[in-house]
Structure 1
């Protein structure tokens, strides 16, 4: 299977993203967090989460880690995905695959069809979204990827949540493009964490998958000799994306769950 993936990559066709469920400290993919420090997230009572290092196989049959995701097996959507910003202007491909390890499969990496009939017990599957009226909203978006591999790795349902079509395709898309303009002026690496707040009152997809109430994003990078952080959340009551400081964003999120996004960045908490 690993060699098949590589051959597909060489032919430049769409193939699947791979993930690896890891320890709570994201030990294999800490490079996607500022100062290698994941957000300090406290799940609500009764909510289970699993850290995933999202990866692909390279031509040496080794895994390349491309971003990190904290996934809720209770909500069946990600809490957040963390990545380093890029803007490769690559074409898009949406195979939408799942993570076998979340459902107890022994296969360490994701496959197009999965390896177990148990797939879907702890995660969303493609059929959950059929005729739902919701988009599969990326947390790590294709627009922010830095090469063909990172683009492919975003197309997994562990990196998506049900998102209002209009908001996803208009206001949130405009926001993602504006973030590109902002982060291109950074010195060195720009770190991004994008998350979801589940809507506890909305009907779940197939009575399983929570839809999003809000999408949020936090960015942090070096500008003019100091770390600069920005926060965003939407939709507001006008269907738009609000611009906030990181602290304001964390305060707003505290009404739903507790999270300190850039715990190792003093300048991004102001």
Structure 2
């Protein structure tokens, strides 16, 4: 009987992913340290958004604003701490995790093969089988390669940190953008705060498995309030980028280069990104970093 139950549990976890426990909040209070000046992005609101402090092995690792209606995160916020050489390796063999507390705030439900419990879990989030044969890869918002410790990297492998991303973007142009940010970290003499998110289509949003919405664009922005004097000051204290996740999208936000097969990434100022997000998210006011990441420390260090 014990062996049967163990086998059933393993089968269930293989289907939906490993259970992973975060903490749902209304204001990110337990994990505000992942935001510059402990201030969350201003002007972003929605009935289906859930603030999630990503907890792994009893420590908060990063923060996510999760969209339960689309079953993808809108953004994840973290501190870039990976070592440029060796510390940011990908951990592709990690198991994918799910978070049952999205439907049971404050509770830790048992894993079960019970169909009703499985269905309830799927109500609010993606599960592994959504991505199977979907034509999309599992795209990190807080990437494992931007984390410092093994547990930090493992924590990013939760489906609440994942969006459907075309492989040409995920392991191509978008990964190259992540590597650019790693290289700039060496010129940052303060913490580098990063917020990475997605932009939905304006209409007719495609879905995988008729459940999980596919974003049209990826975006990222960072804040480093102090930096070395020899740094490229065009990229400090803030900078941002938008990447195409659809080869056939119009070129009003990011133009195409034939060499990138439609998955181009455009770097831009923080102000330019915020203007685009205001229009796409239909938010009248939007600010990703308090005071635009400008303070008394926003100067070069020699």
Q: Tell me, yes or no, if the aligned pair for 1:96 and 1:155 is still in contact at 8 Å.
A: yes
Once the 2 structures are TM-superposed, how far is the Cα of residue 232 of structure 1 from its aligned partner? 0.6
> Are the structure 2 counterparts of residues 91 and 179 from structure 1 closer, same or farther at C-alpha, using a change threshold of 3 Å?
closer
Q: Aligned pair 1:121/2:134, yes or no? A: no
Q: Which residue of 1 aligns with 2:48?
A: 48
Determine the C-alpha separation between the residues in 1 that align with 2:175 and 2:111: 29
Q: CA deviation at 1:91?
A: 5.1
CA distance in 2 between counterparts of 1:184 and 1:112 reads 46
Partner SS, residue 260 of structure 1:
coil
- 1:65 to 2:64 alignment: no
> More deviation in 232-241 or 209-218?
232-241
Aligned to 2:218: 215
Aligned equivalents of 1:48 and 1:165: distance in 2? 28
Query: The residue matched to 2:170 in structure 1 has which SS?
Result: helix
1:108 to partner: Cα distance: 4.1
1:230 maps to 2:269: no
Choose from 188, 191, 194 the match for 2:190. 188
Q: Which range moves more in the overlay, 171-180 or 113-122?
A: 113-122
Equivalent residue runs for 1:92-171 within 5 Å: 92=91, 93-104=93-104, 107-108=107-108, 116-117=117-118, 118-171=120-173
Count of residues in Structure 1 that have an aligned counterpart in Structure 2: 247
Contact 1:129 1:136 in 2 (8 A): yes
Q: Deviation at 1:218?
A: 0.4
Task: Please report how far the alpha carbon of residue 228 of structure 1 lies from its aligned counterpart in structure 2 after TM superposition.
Answer: 0.2
Structure 1 residues 173 and 16 mapped into 2: Cα distance closer, same or farther (>3 Å)? farther
Tell me the residue number matched to 2:276.
252
In the alignment, is residue 80 of structure 1 matched against residue 71 of structure 2? no
Q: Distance in 1 between matches of 2:110 and 2:215?
A: 25
Preserved contact between residue 250 and residue 261 of structure 1 (Cα < 8 Å): yes
TM-score after normalising by structure 1: 0.83
RMSD: 2.6
Aligned 8 A contact 1:75 1:198 in 2:
no
CA contact (8 A) 2:76 2:142 kept: yes
Which has more radius of gyration?
Answer: 2
Q: CA 1:53–1:105 in 2, change beyond 3 Å: closer, same or farther?
A: closer
Distance of 2:50 and 2:113 partners within structure 1: 21
Q: Residues 64 and 110 of structure 1: is their aligned pair in 2 closer, same or farther, counting only changes over 3 Å?
A: farther
Bigger mean CA deviation after superposition, 155-164 or 114-123: 114-123
**8 Å CA contact retained: 2:98, 2:158:** yes
Q: Indicate the structure with greater strand content.
A: 1
Q: Distance in 1 between matches of 2:222 and 2:113?
A: 35
Q: Secondary structure at the match of 2:280?
A: coil
Which residues of structure 1 form unaligned runs of 5+?
A: 1-14, 58-62
The answer to whether the Cα contact below 8 Å between 2:190 and 2:227 also exists between their aligned partners in 1 is no
Preserved CA contact (<8 Å) 1:103 1:120: no
Q: Give the TM-score normalised by structure 2.
A: 0.75
Residue pair 1:16, 1:95 contacting (<8 A) in 2 also: no
